[in-house]
Structure 1
Amino acid sequence: MSRRRTSWMVAILMVSCLMLAACAGQATEKPANTHKVLHEAGATNVPDHPKRVVALEFSFVDALDELGIEPVGIAQENKDDVSGLLGKKISFTEVGTRQQPNLEVISSLKPDLIIGDFNRHKGIYKQLQQIAPTIILKSRNATYQENIDSFKRIAEAVGQTDKMNQRLQLHEERLAAAKQQVDPNDQRQIMVGVFRSDSLTAHGETSFDGELLERMGIDNAITKTAEPTVTITLEQIVKWDPDVIFMAEADPKLLDEWKKNPLWNQITAVKTGEVYEVNRDLWTRYRGLDAAEQIVDEAIQLLNQKNK
């Protein structure tokens, strides 16, 4: 065999060995670190420490803030929704409204995690999954405990369970301290209502604020309802007859009409002057840990001022 041919064969063998080694290296190359997160729409593998998170509900924004994470994209309806929620301004891109997230804008942000609401976004889960790993959790029309569970799941997803445990411990301590201010002999029953000209909505005992206040020993007059929040009539309010009404939103014209209506004036809360206007965003939209603590403090303060 000629020396030239031998050299050529050696070269071929060396190239082949290099290619095999490269293939072996690719086969054993460790994939990006991910972990499986169970959620309301199934299970999703998400990065261990996602950096670019899109949040499509306010309580998720609050949860991420508690965990030290600033979302790159947030759904909101009004320009000051997020600053009102967090009490500070942060830098983010608006990705449409919570009702109608803009998938094109979300995709342009190149997120590595999207957090959607079960009530609003389960129908577009597959589309969101095509953009980035997505988890679907409960927030809107969910109970207080379900929102707490969602906070835990978010912490698991973003790898911040230590911060979660610390914050939940502080939360429990604050609620326990607040509960000490509730008179155990107070038998008054409350109702949280959103009163618009076109609809009346009551937050029952299984709503976020309803269940939260029940845990504090503050009973809800709206019980045994099919859903946490229910559409009602003035006649039904009279039937439930709450001792205290927290108005999260009230149409002025509607209230003026009701003041002239004998039914409205039959309600115990109206007769005793215990109808209080409260902030709708805080009481019905935010649903985070900080919001829960503020709701409890305000409710107890308003209830106790009547007892003084």
Structure 2
Amino acid sequence: MFINPKTMLLGVFLFALPALGIAQTWTHEGGTLNLDEAPKRIVALNWAATETLLLLGITPVGVADMSGYNAWVKEPELPDDATNVGTRVAPNLEAIAELEPDLIVTSTEMAPATELLEQIAPTYVISVYKPDIRPFDKAREMLVTLGDMVDRKDQAEAVLTDIELTLKQQRDRLEHAELTDTPVALVSFQDHRHVRIYTESSLYQAALESLGLTNAWPNLGNYWGFSSIGLESVAQIPDSRLVVIEPLVPGLAGSLENSPFWTYLPPVRSQQIYQIPRAWPFGGVYPVKRLAVALTDALLEGGSNNVR
């Protein structure tokens, strides 16, 4: 059988393409990004990006504000072998350059520094928190895109499948107990008199909707997904369950027991106060899973008239 030499050469060339490394291009908030191969040394300049890389099984070589991540985000756990590269609002460009990264992940809050970052390494810009954006959708986009960049698409899909399954399981638990009817207000205490109340623009909203729950707070918040209000404003949502998210202000429980703003709130008088562990409200996809499990456990356990 005769084989055309040109056909043979074409086949050899096509077979060799993956080994040669074919550049791929991604469009992002800072323009376009071209990579010849999957990056291995990645610097993350916000905690949502750090969390996302860890979910993909990649430890960033550099992380902005490592101690803050370990204190506030906690999961996924950040190994000690990452290097701190300054703060999230003012990263140390020299420290980043010394790590010789082949990819930097940042957001538009760092727009003034993007050109400088691009002189160090290819830079991917994506903002989970911006006006008129649903944070969970954007966080999911970041996970999928980074999974594609680092050649771990299967891992990204596995993470999302696990989250979807967990959310469904928690919703089934609540529906079986007939606990989805009463709206839920999610708050974090700022001091003894003021709270952040999370709105429909928050990351937490994805957990509430997936659990079949209604957000009790009807007003709009900022693009980070919350409003700062006085305790007395909670009286605007009388038929609701009030869920307090840790950490608590020192001495809070004692102060609330003697506070007229607290003791006369409808959720307090009806013993519809719930307390749950922290789940970072400004992260990627993983806090939605953490919040859903903690919230479901708390609602099934039952409410009280105070925080603990």
Separation of aligned partners in 1, 2:271 and 2:90: 40
CA drift of 1:245 comes to 2.0
* Residues 16-39 of structure 1, C-alpha deviations (whole Å, 9 max, x = no match): xxxxxxxxxxxxxx9964321222
User: Quick one: which of 177, 180, 184 aligns to 1:186?
Assistant: 180
**TM-score normalised according to structure 1 size:** 0.78
> Which sits farther off after the overlay, 244-253 or 200-209?
244-253
Separation of aligned partners in 1, 2:243 and 2:166: 24
* Residues 85-117 of structure 1, C-alpha deviations (whole Å, 9 max, x = no match): 223634111011223222221111111101113
SS for the counterpart of 2:43 is strand
SS for the counterpart of 1:293 is helix
Separation of aligned partners in 1, 2:119 and 2:173: 50
Alignment partner, residue 87 of structure 1: 77
Structure 1 residue runs without a partner (length 5+)? 1-29
CA drift of 1:210 comes to 2.3
Alignment partner, residue 169 of structure 1: 161
CA contact (8 A) 1:238 1:264 kept: no
SS for the counterpart of 2:260 is coil
SS for the counterpart of 2:212 is coil
SS for the counterpart of 2:128 is coil
Check if 1:132 corresponds to 2:121.
yes
CA drift of 1:286 comes to 4.2
Matches within 5 A, 1:1-308: 33-76=22-65, 78=67, 81=70, 84-87=74-77, 89-118=79-108, 120-140=109-129, 143-183=135-175, 186-197=180-191, 200-227=195-222, 228-241=225-238, 242-253=240-251, 256-280=254-278, 282-289=279-286, 291-306=287-302
* Residues 193-219 of structure 1, C-alpha deviations (whole Å, 9 max, x = no match): 222239632211221112222221122
SS for the counterpart of 2:137 is helix
Structure 1 residues 33, 90: closer, same or farther in 2, change over 3 A? farther
Residue 235 of structure 1 aligns to which amino acid in structure 2? Answer: E
SS for the counterpart of 1:181 is helix
Percent identity between the two aligned chains? 23
Separation of aligned partners in 2, 1:81 and 1:284: 15
> Which sits farther off after the overlay, 55-64 or 243-252?
243-252
Separation of aligned partners in 2, 1:149 and 1:293: 16
Structure 1 residues 294, 130: closer, same or farther in 2, change over 3 A? same
SS for the counterpart of 1:193 is strand
SS for the counterpart of 2:74 is helix
Separation of aligned partners in 1, 2:66 and 2:237: 33
CA contact (8 A) 2:194 2:231 kept: no
CA contact (8 A) 2:202 2:281 kept: no
SS for the counterpart of 2:174 is coil
CA drift of 1:158 comes to 1.9
CA contact (8 A) 1:56 1:75 kept: yes
Separation of aligned partners in 1, 2:293 and 2:232: 30
SS for the counterpart of 1:220 is coil
CA contact (8 A) 1:189 1:221 kept: yes
CA drift of 1:45 comes to 1.6
Aligned residues: 275
User: Quick check: which one's helix share is greater?
Assistant: 1
CA drift of 1:153 comes to 1.9
Which aligned runs of 4 or more in structure 1 are off by greater than 6 angstroms? none
CA contact (8 A) 1:144 1:212 kept: no
Structure 1 residues 79, 211: closer, same or farther in 2, change over 3 A? closer
CA drift of 1:255 comes to 5.7
**TM-score normalised according to structure 2 size:** 0.78
CA contact (8 A) 2:184 2:242 kept: yes
CA drift of 1:125 comes to 2.0
Larger radius of gyration: 1
